[in-house]
Chains A and B, each alone.
Chain A
Amino acid sequence: MNNTTFFRVSLFLVLLITVAGCRKKPKSMTPIPGGPGSIVGGSSEPAGLIDFSNGGGSGGAGNGFNSDLGNGASLMGDEFPNGSDVNFSDNNGNGAGGNALPDRNRIAGASEDRETLAAYTVFFDYDRFSIRTEELAKVEAVADFLAAETSAMVKIEGHCDERGTEEYNRSLGERRALSVREVLVRLGIAPDRVTTESWGEDRPAVEGENEGAYRKNRRGEFVILRQ
């Protein structure tokens, strides 16, 4: 309990230093529903879809993955023979530097929990990636959660509304996710616990061509990763 208190105070100090002037209410850390350690509803979506034939465990770069382009001879026709193999070139390393993203082998095979932090989705202004002041409390709460559940990692999924082109939005979505990640790191979360994934405009939260829909689609979602 003392440790937790100490951690909260430290977090608060870090936050004051880094985002001084941005916050209206200092005591705005929103508690996680049920509190840290008593998470309910953590759905463990199976990894599905991904068929690593030698697993995604530690060390291995996942060789031997086969993409089955199917045995549909008619689909591949004479110009596109069957039997595609996926071979990995060996470039899974990360660039040097304190803010480099975590090694992918660390999250291979992790289960995804999209429920627990669903209420903490961060929303963005149009064509912007900075975190709005009123959204900061959500990131703080997630930092708080990660500080308590030390074995969990988090993936931030960056999304955009459709008022950008697909590839521009894929970059913008990643930039948004990285902005959220930067705040988590400033709040004391180890960089190698936070990963990002951009979906651009490909997975809108709501359909619709109006500002109400756009506002809900410009977002960063938190997905807890557990081994």
Chain B
Amino acid sequence: MRIEKLGPALQTLCSLLALVAYSANGLAQNEINLDRFQSSVDPVPIQLEGYQGSVLQILSFDLEVMGWEVVPVGKGQYSLIGDNQGGVRGRLVDRLGGGATLFSRQYSSGSVRQQAHALANAVVEQVFRQKGIAHTKIAYKSRASGGFPEIYVSDFDGYRSQTITRDESNVAAPAWVPGQLKLFYTSYKLRNPDIFSHDLKTGRRVAVSRYSGLNTSAAITSDGRRMAMILSKDGSPDLYVSAINGSGLKRLTKTREEEACPCWSPDGSQICFTSAAGGGARLYLIDGNGGTMRRLRAAGASGVYSEPDWSPDGRWIAFTALMGRQFQICVVAAGGGEATVLTQGEDPSWAPNSRNIVFMRKKNGRKILSILDVPTKRVKDVPLIMGNSSQPAWAR
């Protein structure tokens, strides 16, 4: 998926070039410090020279999502110079650093789209020293007007979308098995909300939780072995865990009020979830093996809290707060503390870089997917996705 596709020789060349560039330039000055997102960071200006059509479009989208701002020639701190005659080529120049060339690359294999994404990733990795997300995928729920909601998978920028379900009933809550082309989701296909696992390589799917009542909100640990979910079979919607095939079921909460929206800490030791047990819906933590529910303090937010998502680096929990009449995406340190309101929207899902968040927002009465760059607080809508789309899950 990444540079591997470009062939071993080119890969070696790229690594060498990158190595030379790294050692030739002090890069730390452009690293983005996530702690600073309370006061947003300015995007880094870059000019794109020589690109046309879809390659220009892809480079612009990818870079602007990941903390850059594409500016007219002459205004950029950096310049990416190249063309897309044949394979995509690019030379990254640090215009403030005396015009030094940071790297020079040419891509020959893979589609033009993949090549452009690879170049965007290279720019991000070169300057921010963070892994790019231009080759990642998202899963989401979408309903065309007059149709049924189904699960879809697409590239993170909405291209190459594929229908995963054709259940013609209702679906919900897609969740990736980390590191695998495998999804868990809820489908009403069997006249009840049940949890299915779906291997996207083989197409095989299995109903892993089909108890009476509600089976929903599956979340899978980073090691791909355990599942947290919401079941109501014992008389109230509570939090349960099991092996990913549904065996070894264990009930973790026993409240009369509803629990919802579990997510795992990246090390698989804790679950963050929503519970209404304390009156209004708030976020709680519980040990993955069970124990006492502990309230996660998120000062500064208010209203109904739900949809927590733990960042892959383990440091942050993004969530949705209904504040007044508006849904807001918020983020709080995983240990609790002061919450920061980031932008209007619902259902945040972290990218593997722990920097970007895909979320749903209402635009002209329609549910669309958007991508937030947390440090700069810039938001870009995911293009191409039609109908009403929600519940995005970033593959990571």
For the complex, is A70 an interface residue (Cβ under 8 Å from B)? yes
For the complex, is A150 an interface residue (Cβ under 8 Å from B)? no
CB-CB < 8 A to B390: which residues of A?
Answer: 166
Name the residue on B nearest A92 (C-beta): B210
For the complex, is A22 an interface residue (Cβ under 8 Å from B)? no
For the complex, is B363 an interface residue (Cβ under 8 Å from A)? no
In the bound assembly, the distance between CA atoms of A93 and B247 in angstroms comes to 12
CB distance from A220 to the nearest CB of B (A): 14
Q: Is the CB of A88 within 8 A of B260?
A: no
The interface size bin for chain A is 35 or more
CB-CB < 8 A to A195: which residues of B?
Answer: 212-213
With A77-B162, A97-B235, A100-B212 already in contact, the answer to whether A163 and B322 are too (CB < 8 A) is: yes
In the bound assembly, the distance between CA atoms of A172 and B249 in angstroms comes to 22
Q: Is the CB of A198 within 8 A of B214?
A: yes
For the complex, is B274 an interface residue (Cβ under 8 Å from A)? yes
For the complex, is A43 an interface residue (Cβ under 8 Å from B)? no
For the complex, is B73 an interface residue (Cβ under 8 Å from A)? no
Central interface residue in B234, B260, B280, by most chain A CB within 10 Å: B260
Partner of B210, one of A83, A88, A175: A88
Q: Is the CB of B304 within 8 A of A174?
A: no
CB-CB < 8 A to B33: which residues of A?
Answer: none
With A89-B245, A91-B246 already in contact, the answer to whether A75 and B162 are too (CB < 8 A) is: yes
CB-CB < 8 A to A103: which residues of B?
Answer: 212
Contacts of B113-155 to chain A: CB distance below 8 A: 141, 149, 153
Q: Is the CB of A69 within 8 A of B304?
A: no
In the bound assembly, the distance between CA atoms of A175 and B251 in angstroms comes to 17
With A69-B203, A175-B257 already in contact, the answer to whether A97 and B217 are too (CB < 8 A) is: no
For the complex, is A49 an interface residue (Cβ under 8 Å from B)? yes
In the bound assembly, the distance between CA atoms of A154 and B306 in angstroms comes to 31
CB distance from B245 to the nearest CB of A (A): 6
| Interface-side segment among B96-104, B185-193, B336-344, B376-384 | B185-193
Partner of B235, one of A68, A86, A100: A100
CB-CB < 8 A to A91: which residues of B?
Answer: 208-211, 246-247, 249
B245-270 CB mask vs A (1 if < 8 Å, else 0) is 11101010000011111000000000
With A104-B212, A178-B235 already in contact, the answer to whether A62 and B306 are too (CB < 8 A) is: no
Q: Is the CB of A79 within 8 A of B193?
A: no
CB distance from A123 to the nearest CB of B (A): 18
CB-CB < 8 A to A198: which residues of B?
Answer: 193, 214, 232
For the complex, is B320 an interface residue (Cβ under 8 Å from A)? yes
In the bound assembly, the distance between CA atoms of A99 and B238 in angstroms comes to 14
In the bound assembly, the distance between CA atoms of A163 and B281 in angstroms comes to 13
In the bound assembly, the distance between CA atoms of A174 and B172 in angstroms comes to 15
| Interface-side segment among B14-22, B23-31, B194-202, B286-294 | B194-202
Q: Is the CB of B322 within 8 A of A95?
A: no
Contacts of A167-212 to chain B: CB distance below 8 A: 167-168, 170-172, 174-175, 178, 195-200, 202-203
CB-CB < 8 A to B304: which residues of A?
Answer: 127, 163-164, 168
In the bound assembly, the distance between CA atoms of A92 and B169 in angstroms comes to 21
In the bound assembly, the distance between CA atoms of A107 and B212 in angstroms comes to 10
Name the residue on B nearest A191 (C-beta): B235
For the complex, is A67 an interface residue (Cβ under 8 Å from B)? yes
Q: Is the CB of A80 within 8 A of B212?
A: no
Name the residue on B nearest A89 (C-beta): B246
For the complex, is B216 an interface residue (Cβ under 8 Å from A)? yes
Q: Is the CB of A67 within 8 A of B172?
A: no
Q: Is the CB of B233 within 8 A of A100?
A: yes
For the complex, is B346 an interface residue (Cβ under 8 Å from A)? yes
For the complex, is A76 an interface residue (Cβ under 8 Å from B)? yes
For the complex, is A94 an interface residue (Cβ under 8 Å from B)? yes
Q: Is the CB of A165 within 8 A of B306?
A: yes
For the complex, is A116 an interface residue (Cβ under 8 Å from B)? no
For the complex, is B157 an interface residue (Cβ under 8 Å from A)? no
B160-192 CB mask vs A (1 if < 8 Å, else 0) is 101111111110110000000100001001111
CB distance from B341 to the nearest CB of A (A): 16
Q: Is the CB of A70 within 8 A of B347?
A: no
Partner of A170, one of B216, B233, B257, B276: B216
Q: Is the CB of A174 within 8 A of B206?
A: no
CB-CB < 8 A to A174: which residues of B?
Answer: 213-214, 232, 237, 258
In the bound assembly, the distance between CA atoms of A196 and B203 in angstroms comes to 31
Contacts of A46-94 to chain B: CB distance below 8 A: 47, 49-50, 62, 65, 67-70, 72, 75-77, 79-89, 91-94
Task: Jot down 16 A-B pairs with beta carbons below 8 A, ordered by A.
Answer: A49-B189, A50-B189, A65-B190, A86-B196, A87-B206, A91-B246, A166-B173, A167-B261, A168-B260, A171-B230, A175-B232, A175-B257, A175-B258, A178-B213, A195-B213, A198-B232
Extra contacts besides A84-B204, A164-B281, A170-B172 (16): CB < 8 Å? A50-B189, A80-B201, A87-B204, A93-B211, A94-B233, A100-B233, A101-B211, A101-B213, A101-B235, A103-B212, A166-B173, A167-B173, A171-B261, A174-B258, A196-B232, A202-B170
Which residues of B are interface residues toward A (Cβ below 8 A)?
141, 149, 153, 160, 162-170, 172-173, 181, 186, 189-193, 196, 198, 200-214, 216-217, 230, 232-237, 245-247, 249, 251, 257-261, 274, 276, 280-281, 304, 306-307, 320, 322, 325, 327, 346-347, 390-391
- Please list the 3 inter-chain residue pairs (A to B) with the smallest Cβ-Cβ separation, ordered nearest first: A101-B212, A171-B260, A168-B306
